[in-house]
Every structure is written in structure tokens, then in C-alpha cells.
Amino acid sequence: MHSFTPSGMDLKSLTRISSFPSVGLTHHRVGPARIVIQCVSRYDSTDVNTNSNPANVGSGHVGRARHDWQSTCAILASKVVSSEQQDTEKSNGGAEGISAVNGHPTLDLVPVNKQSSSPAPLPKPLSIADLSPSPMHGAQLRVAYQGVPGAYSEAAAGKAYPNCEAIPCDQFEVAFQAVELWIADRAVLPVENSLGGSIHRNYDLLLRHRLHIVGEVQLPVHHCLLALPGVRKEYLTRVISHPQALSQCEHTLTKMGLAVAREAVDDTAGAAEFIALNNLRDTAAIASARAAELYGLQILADGIQDDSGNVTRFVMLAREPIIPRTDRPFKTSIVFAHDKGTSVLFKVLSAFAFRNISLTKIESRPHRNRPIRLVDDANVGTAKHFEYMFYVDFEASMADVRAQNALAEVQEFTSFLRVLGSYPMDMTPWTPSSSNGE
């Protein structure tokens, strides 16, 4: 298994902020003592020290060690505070009072406008441009999720890590990168739903990135039909939500007699936010009750999912794996492929069946590096076979001798085998989704 180290950090996020107009830094307060910083930086290979020697930091280079990164973050945070206190400084950012922190040269600060006295906005989801080091130093566990505040993924992050700082991201891949770049400590992302099936995008990203599964959490999903205050169901002409949410409420919407168009958007809470921001009185969203509270919408109908047994399974991702144990139920996730096609699948499954190891999940995804395998036959021509990667979850810890022997046998039949993680199973009692949406 591979692990992530600070030396493997993407140095694009640590380059010096230049003075070009296209490069800037903005900040705003989202609470009494919290600053959200968004930074767009330019990669300049001349500013990167290929040596991890701390002695070279003072000469204008950015080191790769973790303490260098932390010091750079401290510089950035100090300048933000300084820029707020010095209202009369010139438009060059006004950080002349801070020449260095811990021996590091200062970063140029682009001036920002003072915010109005309007209510503090909700945190904006991270985007690719925001992937720069966070000024926070780990006093609180930071957990990335896809969506905006009020999303089911945010509720899953809170269930997996109570009292964490939830970091919204606008894409699944941004959540992966947030952990890899030390912006977040964990990511909580969905992989399958009891009604909608697998979230294929995240299976592909698990293979592309080098994060480890360190846990799972299962969240009952409770959908509500939301609209602006005063809007009646008869006025609606369309309903928007995530594609899986629309499919999970399809029959209920039909029974309600709503002659509406159904349109897919990126996430459930984002649909509620879109209606509130654009004052759409002919549109409703399918989202959680928490989304209605956050965005000032009313609940037209509660519990509109077609099946009360609607549960989404999320996995928790980290840079380092956890140590597997045998004193509690564990689950292990693997991915494998074979050069000779899918004929090896029976042999792999037999390795687990022979040792009485139960499988809880098997998923196939196209082999992106070689999607088609050609087999020439002089008599009948050329046969074209699709190639697949296979994802398997089984109920055993990697500390269990049975699992070790099973994987040793699987390795003999496969050309590629990777353990994605060995982690505790979610053993919380299952109850149908409740009215609070959590």
C-alpha cells in the first residue's frame, strides 16, 4: 500500500503569489473568528526549491517539508489580518510591516474591498482554483465533502466525525485533492445508494488517487419537496435536484399529480440554494430539511422518497491507512485486473469462498488504459473484448490470516491488485429515515 508524505505535495499550491492582475487573493469572514481564504497562484519552477534543505528557504525558495508549508500558511494568515487592520495603506496590498515570518520571505498581497454589512454568507464550495494551503493549523479536524452546506454529504461528514469543520467542495475530485494537499484531513464521499446503485465517478477516482479508505458511514436519506415561502404546489412547473434524488422520488412525484419538468443539477442542497438566490417561484427542489432551513425555503411535502429504506453509503478517506484489527468487524476493499480478460473472476471469487469470507460488494468499471482487447483467430476473424477493473469489498480485516491468504492467492491470478483500505464496518443500528433529514 502506498502512503502520502508531505514531500509528495503538489508545489503548485505553494508558489509565490505574483503581482499580475490575473493572480489574486480574496478573503471574507464567515463568522466572528473565522476567515475563509481563496488563493489563485501561478506555478513558477524557478521559485521551487528542489532541495528539502530548510536552509534554502530564506533565499526565496519554497521548501517541501511540512514545517515549511506551515510557515508559509502562517505568513499568508498574518498578512490577511494585517490587511484588515491597515485600511489606509496603498493599493499594493500594504504588507510592508511584515518582512518575514520564521525566516521566510513575505508574500505579495493583492488588495481586497471591504465587505458590506450584509449577513455573513455560507462558505463557498472549493473549486480547482482554491487548492492552496489552508491557514489553519489542524486545531480542528477538517473534513471535505462534495456539495454546499445542507447537502447529505455534509450530514454524513458530521456523522462520521462529530464536531469537525466541514469543508464544501464543488466537485468530487476537488475533495480528493483537498486531502492530498493538506487542506483537509479527511474526505467523506458517497460510493453507493440502496436505490440508485453505485456512484461510478468516485470508484474511478479511488483508483486515480492514492488516498486510503479508513472507515465507512451509512446515512438514511430523507427527501423533502422545497419551494419559496408562499408558493403552492399547483404553481410549480419544474422540479430540480441531483439525478439520483429525482429517480428516488419519481413515483411519489407522479402520485402527487405534479405536471412538472424534472431537471438534474449537481447536488440536492445546490438546487435549494439556486431557487433561493434566483427567487424562482415556479420551481421546487428535492433536498433535505436542513437545506430548507439554511436557504429560507418552505417544505411542501415531507418524506417523498419512494422507499423508506433509502440509505447512502459513504467512505472516509485519509492520506495514511489505519492499522487493521481483529477485535471488531472490519471490511476490506480491493481493486484488481487481469491481462486475459474477465475469465479470472471465477478464480478470484473462489479464493474468498474457499475461506468462508463473505463479499459485500462487487463492481466492474472499464479499464481506461486498455478498454478493448483484440483476439485474432484465423478462422473466424478478430474478436473484440471489453476490459474491466473489478472492485470488491469483503468482510475481513487485513490482520486476519484468512484475508492474507486469500489475497496471496488472488495475486497469482491477477496482473494488478491494490488494497484500497481495511477499515471498521459501520455497525450502527439501522432505522428508517427520520423527518430531520439527518
Catalytic residues: 312, 314
Please name the helix (run of DSSP H) or strand (run of DSSP E) that holds residue 407, with its range, or none. Answer: helix 401-413
β-bridge mates for residue 37, sequence order: 27
| Rounded-to-integer distance, Cα 136 and Cα 375, Å | 55
| Rounded-to-integer distance, Cα 360 and Cα 340, Å | 25
Please name the helix (run of DSSP H) or strand (run of DSSP E) that holds residue 273, with its range, or none. Answer: helix 268-278
229-232 LR contacts (CB < 8 Å, sep 24+): 229/296, 229/297, 229/298, 230/281, 230/298, 231/281, 231/282, 231/284, 231/298, 231/300, 232/300
401-407 LR contacts (CB < 8 Å, sep 24+): 402/355, 402/356, 402/357, 403/332, 403/357, 405/355, 406/351, 406/352, 406/354, 406/355, 406/357, 407/334, 407/351
| Rounded-to-integer distance, Cα 42 and Cα 37, Å | 16
Contact 312/156 with Cβ under 8 angstroms?
yes
Cβ neighbour number for residue 387 with a 10 Å cutoff: 18
Q: How far is CA 341 from CA 335, 348, 359, 361, 432, in A?
A: 14, 13, 21, 20, 41
Which letter, b or e, does each residue of 298-336 get, where b requires 16 or more Cβ atoms within 10 Å of its Cβ? ebbbebbbbeeebbbbbbbbbbebbebeeeeebbbbbbb
Contact 335/394 with Cβ under 8 angstroms?
no
Contact 62/6 with Cβ under 8 angstroms?
no
Return the ∠ at Cα 185 (arms to 183 and 205), rounded to 5°.
Answer: 85
